[in-house]
């Protein structure tokens, strides 16, 4: 098991004090300390209630970007619609919306694993609430991810839904590995197994926009050779789809098409870089690539170094134009900045060698400068706000000698603190969409609250790696 990130209780106390000081208004008076403490305590209690509920942490679906009239996947799975929902809305969901989603996805909507993956990745550190047992919740999330999200003990790919009838993807795999590794639920070898799968998703071909039939009803984007795809679309996918020797592991998943998503690429890069950091691979190791497209198989051999170069170039190119908006699946620019900042935080040398820290700083500063403009949608969206604060905090943690303006970050944290709801949560907003041409939004108050907690606790509170006593899927892996 890798030991980077393991700290003593004395060090944890230091993190508590420094992170608390970062979060507080400039005066750091007693009233402000009490307010922050109560807010975080209520937020963790909210997460506990949701985590211990019948369906655990689950996303909701909405048909508009303001997340009105949303439905939880737990409710959808059992078919018990809220009693106060008008009959016409119930019938619209039952007979129109859900059948169309099933047709687009290739499977019925069911419970998902991704929220727990996000929670484990962003809340794996030291809780500032010293009376709160974060490790106990981490254990529940990690065990659930390994039980319901792992494609197979023989194939370290992770699933968004709790069904093998929807294809495993690199975004879930990257987020799951980062969270499981950070809290000590998997060791270096397990991390490397998953990271190898991520490398194998690199695109074999260079394909222009017009020539790429990404998938039905989706925008056609170019494929960049060597850049990690969102879906694997390879021989392993076909084997699990048709020929798995274990009947319960056979998949009816549809091909999703060869495509990239910027945030998914960044999320997938973190476990790859961490595996290199612990010395599991050499940069000149060869990776065999293979993908299916238009009923043809395409193959290639390339080195880890070549894959990294392609992906760093892809990320840097999009960073330069991030003001244009979100990505194929993620509607907010702040999501990309937040996830990229995690690379700076955990793999600073590798990331700084490929991505300009000054450019990243300028992009975060650009959005920070607009936070307190009431007409700006960012001002009214706690999910975007929290992700921006995380990006800024991560940057300042790594580059304290040339920091972003602390006053601007504190102002953003104060605004976020003012937006907490009575039950300890923050309002739901879309975290991602079903695709470029689908006005279906996934998010929840849980997801917003996870990012808000991390934003208020600060980057110094993430470096406590504890080995969890996990059973079930870990045995025999």
Tell which residue, 315, 222, 213, has the closest CA to residue 264. 315
Residue range 428-434: mean pLDDT, rounded: 93
Residue 29 is predicted with a pLDDT of: 56
Q: Could you tell me if 387 and 431 are in contact, meaning their C-beta atoms sit under 8 angstroms apart?
A: no
* Residue 215, burial from CB neighbour count under 10 angstroms (0-12, 13-18, 19+): middle
Tell me the pLDDT band of 472, cut-offs 50, 70 and 90: very low
* Residue 216, burial from CB neighbour count under 10 angstroms (0-12, 13-18, 19+): exposed
Per-residue model confidence as pLDDT tens digits over 50-96: 999 989 999 999 988 889 888 999 989 988 888 888 999 899 999 99
Q: Could you tell me if 225 and 206 are in contact, meaning their C-beta atoms sit under 8 angstroms apart?
A: yes
Per-residue model confidence as pLDDT tens digits over 258-305: 889 999 999 999 999 999 999 989 999 999 888 877 677 888 899 999
pTM of the entire structure? 0.88
Residue 20 is predicted with a pLDDT of: 42
Whole-angstrom distance, CA of residue 124 vs CA of residue 338: 16
Residue 3 is predicted with a pLDDT of: 36
């Amino acid at each position: 098991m890798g030991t980077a990130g393991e700290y003593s209780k004395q060090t944890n106390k230091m993190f508590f004090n420094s992170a608390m000081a970062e979060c507080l208004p400039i005066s750091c008076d007693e009233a402000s300390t009490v307010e922050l403490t109560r807010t975080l305590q209520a937020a963790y209690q909210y997460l506990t209630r949701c985590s211990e509920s019948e369906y655990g942490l689950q996303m909701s679906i909405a048909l508009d970007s303001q997340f009105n009239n949303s439905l939880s996947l737990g409710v959808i799975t059992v078919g018990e619609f809220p009693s106060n929902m008008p009959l016409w809305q119930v019938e619209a969901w039952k007979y129109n919306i859900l059948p169309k989603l099933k047709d687009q996805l290739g499977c019925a909507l069911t419970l998902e694993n991704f929220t727990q993956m996000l929670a484990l990745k962003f809340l794996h550190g030291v809780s500032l609430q010293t009376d709160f047992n974060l490790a106990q919740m981490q254990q529940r999330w990690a065990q659930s991810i390994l039980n319901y999200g792992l494609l197979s003990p023989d194939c370290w790919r992770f699933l968004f839904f709790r069904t093998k009838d929807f294809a495993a993807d690199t975004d879930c795999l990257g987020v799951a590995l980062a969270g499981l590794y950070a809290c000590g639920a998997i060791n270096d070898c397990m991390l490397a197994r998953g990271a190898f799968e991520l490398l194998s998703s690199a695109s074999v071909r260079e394909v222009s926009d017009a020539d790429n039939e990404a998938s039905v009803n989706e925008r056609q984007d170019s494929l960049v050779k060597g850049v990690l795809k969102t879906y694997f679309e390879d021989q392993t996918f076909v084997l699990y789809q048709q020929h798995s020797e274990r009947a319960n592991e056979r998949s009816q998943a549809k091909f999703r098409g060869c495509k990239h998503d910027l945030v998914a690429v960044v999320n997938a890069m973190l476990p790859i870089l961490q595996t290199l950091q612990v010395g599991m691979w050499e940069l000149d190791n060869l990776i065999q690539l293979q993908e299916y497209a238009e009923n043809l198989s395409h193959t290639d051999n390339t080195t880890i170094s070549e894959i990294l170069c392609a992906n760093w170039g892809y990320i840097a190119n999009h960073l330069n134009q991030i003001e244009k908006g979100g990505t194929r699946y993620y509607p907010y620019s702040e999501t990309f900045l937040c996830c990229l900042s995690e690379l700076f935080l955990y793999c600073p040398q590798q990331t700084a060698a490929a991505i300009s820290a000054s450019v990243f700083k300028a992009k975060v500063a650009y959005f920070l400068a607009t936070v307190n403009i009431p007409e700006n949608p960012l001002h009214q969206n706690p999910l975007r706000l929290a992700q921006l604060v995380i990006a800024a905090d991560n940057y300042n943690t790594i580059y304290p000698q040339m920091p972003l303006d602390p006053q601007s970050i504190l102002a953003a944290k104060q605004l976020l603190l003012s937006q907490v709801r009575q039950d300890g949560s923050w309002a739901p907003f879309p975290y991602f969409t079903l695709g470029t041409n689908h006005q279906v939004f996934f998010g929840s108050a849980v997801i917003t609250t996870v990012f808000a907690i991390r934003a208020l606790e600060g980057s110094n509170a993430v470096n406590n790696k504890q080995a969890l006593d996990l059973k079930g899927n870990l045995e025999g892996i």
